[in-house]
Amino acid sequence: MGNINIFFKCSLLAAVIIFVSGCSNVYWGSIKNNTSEVIHVKLTFSNEYGTQILELQPIKSQENELWHYEQSSLVMTKIDKDLSQVEATNSNGCTITLNRDAIDKKVENHELEVVIEPQDFIDSCGK
């Protein structure tokens, strides 16, 4: 009886380890528009399978747009590990481009949300 108990406990432990290590969670990424105009945003995702571009719906002033992604449960402090670039264009045709370092800084400053600020366009287009 003791051998069966040990086998059962070891089997259960192995199943839990496999489940946890193979488990991934669905998260929501968010782009918030803190400007006073509608912006158009493109997200570029790069991984071992190639590059994909997601064009979001136009984002009105003070609103946000979401996308979902799957990520290892071990990485909880960074937004979508495959997100490599964010492009935002305002109504005047000014486009800002955020690379991964800039995305990480915005996410760090705004608690897992990429916030597009008026200053981003001023810095990029000199208005």
CB 87 within 8 A of CB 96: yes
pTM exceeding 0.85: no
Q: What was the pLDDT predicted at 10? A: 47
Q: In tens digits, what is the pLDDT along the chain, a chain of 127 residues?
A: 555 656 555 454 444 444 444 456 778 889 999 999 999 999 999 989 999 999 999 999 999 999 888 876 565 567 888 999 999 999 999 999 999 999 999 988 887 899 999 999 999 988 5
C-alpha 1/C-alpha 25 separation (Å) is: 38
DSSP class of residue 76 equals -
H or E, element range at 106? helix 100-109
